[in-house]
Chain A
Amino acid sequence: MGRRIGRRDLLKIGAASAVAAALGGCEFPRPWVQLEPYVRPPEEQVAGVGTWYASTCRQCPAGCGIIVRVLNGRAVKIEGNPQHPLNEGKLCPRGQAGLQDLYNPDRLQGPVRQAVRGSRQYQAISWEQAITDLRTGLAQAGSSLVVWADCTISGHLLDLFERLTAALGAPPPLVFDLYTALSGYAALSSADALLFGRAALPAYGVEEADVVLSFGAGFLSTWLSTTHYGVAFGSFRQRPLGQRGYLVQFEPRSGPEAAKADLWVRLHPGTEALVAQALARLIADAGEGPPDRVARARAWAPAVDPAAISAMSGVPLEDLRRLASTFVTAGRPLAIPGAALTGHGDAVAQAAAVQVLNVIAGAAGLGISSGPPAEGLLTAVVAPYGRVQRLVERMRAGQVGALLVWGAANPAYALPPALGFVDALKQVPLVVSFRPIVDETAVWADLVLPDRTYLEAWGYDVVEPSFGMPLVDSQQPVVQPLYNTRATGEVLLEVARGIPVAAAALPWPDELAFLRERIAALPAGVFNGAGEEVRWARFLQHGFWQLAPGPAALEAPQARLQPVMVPAPSFQGAAGEFPFFLYIYMPVLLSDGRGADKPWLVGSPDPMTTLMWQTCAEIETNTAIKLGVTYGDIVRITSPYGEVEVPVYVLNSVRPDTIAIAAGLGHSALGRFAGEEAEGPNPMALVGAGADASGASMAWANIRVRVARTGRRVALAKFEDTRGSYGGFVNQAFADQYL
């Protein structure tokens, strides 16, 4: 503005405008003051009016679309992107809590160096110094460099890492974390390769199904695309013409899925795949139902004895017969393999044994509908556990010159201590973490070069599984970066500039140039746009780019005709010494532990136990009586590989012979909320170093344990029985009558 305007001046201007209006289009002499708009109007700073940015949720690998409300430069609320076909405007609790990644008080504010690993004495360094150190380390490591990323890595960053490792002659980045390990990504994907000749994560059309047999799948809590399955579950329960889908959950413990199921089959741990095989056999033998399904069942059902499986699983033969009949006569039946069956035996064969039911139903299209990845774009493919085992061996043998760990992979927390990762780390000359917060792995790192959180960073994500809708999500900064952090993509480009072989492979001036080049190669999508600029703007505006589904995307792949055999489950630990089965699961809020540093997640009640800030050993009522323990008693749980001390929670949602423990807590780092306030065990301490027979999965689901009292107690931070309504007015009688 030319000068300060007082009230009188404003009146004059008003008068002038009135005259100007009266004079119409006549030329008017220059007024006393000239009103000028801001040269750069602060569009984000209209008081009280929010600006919404579309981006992508990175709390799990699903790739839901989000929109973030930004007020005065602060991100204040995350909602689901209503346009996004995967989550249709909805969001799970972990997605809602994304703001606390951004505003976590324990974030690193700049790059640091740790002179003595494990000392937690971090010394702030400049980015120039950090990049020089990293460059020296990489040049020395050369082909012995290893990059370890978690599954939520942006495609462009994975691409840059791949180019860097390729230029140095190092193996491609390893993608592995606890979330995908405990969901069985690698095994599920290999099972589809075995059956359909294409490795892809399965995607199930729950909303279209009328009978769903879920073999332990936590699809409403933490498995694959939970928000999509949540939306689908709403439709499943309210199908057209007043129909209501029928859900059967086979699981030794009741999570939200078994709670919502019409029938919860509390089978013996480890027998899920066997039951699927028995059902296939019974369908073939009974000959009931559509002839094509029966014919496929006869071709596919392995020669198993349903009576023997009934005895092994504890499911009465009559129930198995009825379930087989229900399945084969349903309009659109569907079978879903869960996580636990990918944690023992031959994980790939077990997942395939369940998928065979979809082949029999002719619902392979319902069972696998992932589209092919978009051309030139990368999606993170989870490495089989065998590769992790070999890497730790190589580290121990001193064959790894530098280890770069990106994101929430956190191997020092995620891997069973029996594997000896932390020990092997000592043989690695340079360990670098890029996590924005110090986690258990960063505790053993030489350098921590904090990346930006996903609400401050650029990226793209090829949605996988895509449910037949090939989608590429866009990720953009919604606020100014909070601290002196630097995008890992920028760091890599800068580091590469000083290493001649890498410089040629990574010639881009900055990561945005690289990202835009990748995106420009996308074929035309549903948002028409002429020219690169317009299409880039629409990519950011909508938060995703939907590709026209190719014919291959929806067509059911050709199934290979060969029965899959699953052996009887075997357990780690002798039955006499270890009388209980251990059932590890990822809870809704904490998932694999990446929720533990956010008060909204770790401080909200778990749906089944109602615990906040704590996880417990879940023990069935009668078992607890026999053991002489009750709520809050601390017990020592011992497996052949380790032990944890954990308070008891008594409930009827587990089998009497099973102890369930949630993953996600037991942190020794990850900030004040996870590391100091929350208390609970890390159940990975009870898991051995071994893999399943296929080498795809960690053998985490066939562990036997024993329980011993310690005589100590702890107060439980639970919701149940604490509010008056819980056992007060809205009481059991109401629940029995109406719920």
Chain B
Amino acid sequence: MADATQAEHKWTMVVDLDKCTGCQACVVACHAENNVPIRNKSEVQANRAQHWIRIERYWVGDPPAKARFLPMLCQHCNRAPCEPVCPVYASVHSQREHLNLQVYNRCVGTRYCNNNCPYVVRYFNFYDPYFPAPLTEQLNPDVTVRTAGIMEKCTFCIQRINRAEQQARTEGRDLGPDEVIPACVQTCPPSALLFGDLLNPESRVSKVLADNQRALRVLEHLGTEPAIYYLKGGKSYVRF
């Protein structure tokens, strides 16, 4: 559990549900950036598909119901239910940055964390990843390839956070307000996804979330304090 006094950053994502078109660009970008394997058909049929970010599609309203998209990824909860149940401290909290880390070389695959995650955004590697050559060439060397028996999930592209921090340190300056951009945020055509440090009042997420009446967090009543804020779909006041 996080102690706010130690925090240097509070990495936060804002998902504007009014803008998300469900196009899956974030999903593919995440696969490419984080070496997330694509599971083949029989694995998917066994409910073992693996996407760190997924677009959930709901039907709302009376038939003909309308489709609604909800991008769902690790919520990086401040009080994360996945953390206290891990017997080997593979699922741990970064006090400094408010991130839920998954330490792959500690993970022994008990899957307790998966069981306890109300958002069901943790993915267990039931099989070894399969990259027939030369698809191995596409792998991002900044990110570990996980083997069978390991739990994995969205990291908020921690390799990009580290790279930006390193760059800032090398140049002897503070990290800029919107310097860190995860792969999903970078590619999102309508800019439905925003990312930044909520402790920095200059960041875009701070500005967007300041007094935003559309903001909500998923399953907030569970007290998980997610770091992802969703902006509810709006209405147009056009005469019809």
Contact = CB atoms under 8 A, between A and B. Distances in A.
What range describes how many residues of B lie at the interface? 35 or more
A93 interface: yes
Contacts of A104: 135
B67 A96 contact: no
Nearest to B39: A603
Interface string B4-47: 00000000000011110111110111011100001111001101
B68 A259 contact: yes
B238 interface: yes
B186 interface: yes
B58 A732 contact: yes
Contact of B190 (A93, A234, A715): A234
Contacts, number: 256
A103 B134 contact: yes
Given A105-B134, A211-B238, A605 B51 contact: yes
B23 A103 contact: no
Contact of B138 (A91, A95, A103, A603): A103
A246 B135 contact: no
Nearest to A729: B118
Contacts of B183: 77
A47 to B, nearest CB: 9
Given A96-B32, A678-B41, A322 B240 contact: yes
What range describes how many residues of A lie at the interface? 35 or more
Contact of B67 (A244, A259, A621): A259
Interface in A167-211: 210-211
Listed residue (A231, A256, A326, A329) with the most chain B CB atoms within 10 angstroms of its CB: A256
A607 B40 contact: no
A589 B45 contact: no
Contact of A739 (B68, B138, B186): B68
Contacts of A323: 240
A723 interface: yes
Contacts of B59: 651-652, 735
A330 B238 CA distance: 8
Contact of A77 (B24, B32, B70): B32
Contacts of B233: 739
Interface string A230-268: 110110011000001110000000101011101110100
B137 A246 contact: no
A720 B119 CA distance: 14
A613 interface: yes
B210 interface: no
Contacts of B121: 725
B69 A603 contact: no
Interface stretch (A68-76, A130-138, A340-348, A393-401): A68-76
Q: Which 10 A-B pairs have the closest CB atoms?
A: A230-B189, A234-B190, A735-B58, A607-B22, A603-B38, A259-B67, A739-B68, A246-B238, A717-B44, A725-B120
30 contacts: A71-B141, A74-B137, A76-B138, A96-B25, A99-B32, A103-B134, A105-B133, A105-B134, A226-B189, A233-B19, A234-B191, A256-B21, A256-B69, A259-B22, A260-B21, A262-B236, A325-B239, A603-B44, A604-B51, A607-B21, A608-B22, A621-B63, A677-B41, A717-B49, A725-B119, A725-B121, A730-B219, A735-B60, A736-B60, A739-B70
